């Protein structure tokens, strides 16, 4: 009995065990990297739980599962058609902005996982995002009727290093959502499919190529920094995307008028927007006009928003999901600035 046979035989108890589980933290991280109205594949959808969550957030979801019985239950739960298809039989080509593969890839042995990963990446559009999770451990082979292939951090890194056309965005650990075993840990992985640009002067391993592109501009002025910036927001976002960056900040002088335009443009391009401001810090009152000694001179402070705490709340903020506790503070002297190259 392979893993698909197991899910066909025990579909009802598995459905009942998992349909109410929450994957909201992982889903939120995944959704933050997708453009609005993205096409998403729920790979190995099981009960259809995550399909409904993604649809409720405005995404167009294709749900599929290799188990015919799980497809039947998911159709009842979601009220929609579920594609009955095994991962290894997929023939999608450049279709989806995002693929959600929760607790799926751990069923494939090491000699098959490369082929499966390539099928998944073929289904992604360029710049598309993949989320997958695998169990942390050393269990390999049949376990409670299913085949499991666990990963250590080294073996997970080896897998990712062997795939040339990806950029790893994040790896983090979580406990089992069922709570039945607090020692049961999972690796969560977010990665982006990237075009491989041929460069005859480039040498080095896949791992070197994958890890040399990590960079984010965190001090950037736009046209909203009067007399101090001419950076047009749409051009800025386009340049960030062209350079292969997956996130960028806006830190205009003393104003946040460009934040909503920047947020919308960045999300549409699949770029993570980081909202901030370069504020003025005075040693006394902001109304003082006297220039003090060197140690008493005013400085600028760059603030970057992390979550909703501390960020001015408004209807517009809530609509666009802004988050606003200040994450980073850096001082700079008047005249310093940061612009996209």
Ordered by where they begin, the domains of the chain are: 3-193 (3.40.50.150), 233-332 (no CATH)
**At 199, is the pLDDT very low, low, confident or very high (cuts 50, 70, 90)?**
very low
Indicate the helix (H) or strand (E) that contains 17.
Answer: helix 11-18
Does the pTM surpass 0.85? The reply is no
Give which of 114, 110, 124, 123 is closest to 163, Cα–Cα. 114
Q: Cα(226)–Cα(113) distance, rounded to whole angstroms?
A: 53
Q: Cα(243)–Cα(240) distance, rounded to whole angstroms?
A: 5
Q: Does residue 76 register a pLDDT over 90?
A: yes
Q: Cα(324)–Cα(322) distance, rounded to whole angstroms?
A: 7
Q: Are 250 and 266 in contact (CB under 8 A)?
A: no
| CB neighbour class for 54 (10 Å; exposed up to 12, middle 13-18, buried from 19) | buried
User: Which has the minimum average pLDDT: 6-10, 189-193, 201-205, 293-297?
Assistant: 201-205
Assign residue 79 a region (left: φ > 0; alpha: ψ between -120 and 50; beta: otherwise). Answer: left
**At 230, is the pLDDT very low, low, confident or very high (cuts 50, 70, 90)?**
confident
Residue 38: the pLDDT is 96
Rg of the chain (C-alpha set): 23
Write phi, then psi, for 57 (nearest 5 degrees).
-90, 5
Q: Does residue 45 register a pLDDT over 70?
A: yes
Residue 319: the pLDDT is 33
User: Which has the minimum average pLDDT: 161-175, 223-237, 278-292, 307-321?
Assistant: 307-321
Q: Does residue 214 register a pLDDT over 70?
A: no
Residue 296: the pLDDT is 56
Are β-strands 96-101 and 39-43 bridged in parallel, bridged antiparallel, or unpaired?
A: parallel
Q: Does residue 18 register a pLDDT over 80?
A: yes
Write phi, then psi, for 176 (nearest 5 degrees).
-60, 130
User: Which has the minimum average pLDDT: 85-89, 128-132, 329-333?
Assistant: 329-333
Q: Are 300 and 331 in contact (CB under 8 A)?
A: yes
User: Bridge partners of 100?
Assistant: 42, 131
| Selected residue with higher pLDDT from 337 and 180 | 180
Indicate the helix (H) or strand (E) that contains 9.
Answer: helix 3-9
SS3 call for 278: strand
Find the helix packing angle between 24-31 and 49-56, rounded to 10°: 50
| Chain-centroid distance, C-alpha 242 | 18
Residue 183: the pLDDT is 60
| Selected residue with higher pLDDT from 57 and 316 | 57
Give which of 146, 145, 171, 86 is closest to 120, Cα–Cα. 86
Q: What is the mean pLDDT of residues 265-273?
A: 88
User: Which has the minimum average pLDDT: 35-49, 125-139, 248-262?
Assistant: 248-262
Q: What is the mean pLDDT of residues 139-165?
A: 84
User: In the chain, what percentage of residues exceed pLDDT 90?
Assistant: 43
Residue 309: the pLDDT is 65
Dig out the tokens for 286 from the structure. 């902001």
Q: Does residue 108 register a pLDDT over 80?
A: yes
| CB neighbour class for 333 (10 Å; exposed up to 12, middle 13-18, buried from 19) | exposed
SS3 call for 60: strand
User: Which has the minimum average pLDDT: 28-32, 44-48, 259-263, 321-325?
Assistant: 321-325
Q: Are 87 and 119 in contact (CB under 8 A)?
A: yes
Q: Are 326 and 305 in contact (CB under 8 A)?
A: yes
**At 341, is the pLDDT very low, low, confident or very high (cuts 50, 70, 90)?**
very low
Q: Does residue 213 register a pLDDT over 80?
A: no
Q: What is the mean pLDDT of residues 63-77?
A: 96
Strand order in the sheet with 83-84: 83-84, 60-65, 39-43, 96-101, 124-135, 185-193, 166-175
User: Which has the minimum average pLDDT: 18-22, 63-67, 83-87, 243-247?
Assistant: 243-247
pLDDT, averaged across the chain: 81
């Amino acid at each position: 009995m392979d893993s698909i046979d197991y899910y066909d035989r025990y579909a009802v108890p598995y459905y009942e065990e998992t349909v109410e589980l929450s994957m909201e933290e992982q889903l939120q991280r995944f959704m933050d990297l997708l453009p609005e109205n993205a096409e998403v594949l729920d790979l190995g959808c099981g009960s259809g739980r995550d399909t409904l969550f993604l649809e409720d957030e405005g995404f167009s979801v294709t749900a599929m599962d290799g188990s015919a019985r799980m497809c039947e239950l998911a159709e009842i739960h979601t009220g929609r058609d579920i594609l009955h298809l095994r991962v290894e039989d997929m023939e999608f080509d450049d279709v989806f902005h995002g693929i959600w593969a929760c607790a799926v890839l751990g069923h494939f042995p090491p000699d098959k996982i490369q082929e499966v990963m390539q099928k998944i990446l073929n289904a992604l559009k360029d710049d598309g995002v993949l989320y997958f999770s695998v169990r942390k451990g050393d269990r390999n082979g049949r376990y409670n009727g299913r085949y499991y292939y666990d990963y250590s951090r080294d073996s997970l890194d080896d897998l990712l290093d062997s795939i040339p056309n990806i950029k790893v965005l994040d790896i983090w650990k979580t406990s089992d959502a069922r709570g039945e075993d607090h020692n049961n840990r999972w690796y969560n992985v977010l990665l982006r499919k990237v075009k491989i640009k041929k460069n005859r002067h480039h040498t080095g391993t896949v791992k070197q190529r994958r890890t040399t592109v990590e960079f984010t501009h965190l001090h950037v002025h736009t046209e909203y920094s009067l007399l101090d910036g001419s950076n047009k927001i749409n051009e800025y976002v386009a340049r960030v995307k062209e350079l292969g960056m997956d996130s960028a900040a806006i830190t205009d002088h003393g104003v946040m008028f460009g934040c909503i335009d920047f947020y919308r443009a960045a999300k549409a391009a699949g770029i993570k927007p980081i909202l901030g401001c370069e504020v003025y810090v005075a040693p006394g009152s902001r109304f003082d006009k006297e220039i003090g000694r060197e140690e008493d001179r005013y400085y600028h402070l760059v603030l970057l928003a992390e979550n909703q705490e501390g960020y001015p709340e408004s209807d517009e903020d809530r609509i666009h999901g802004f988050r606003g506790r200040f994450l980073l503070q850096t001082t700079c002297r008047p005249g310093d600035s940061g612009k996209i190259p």
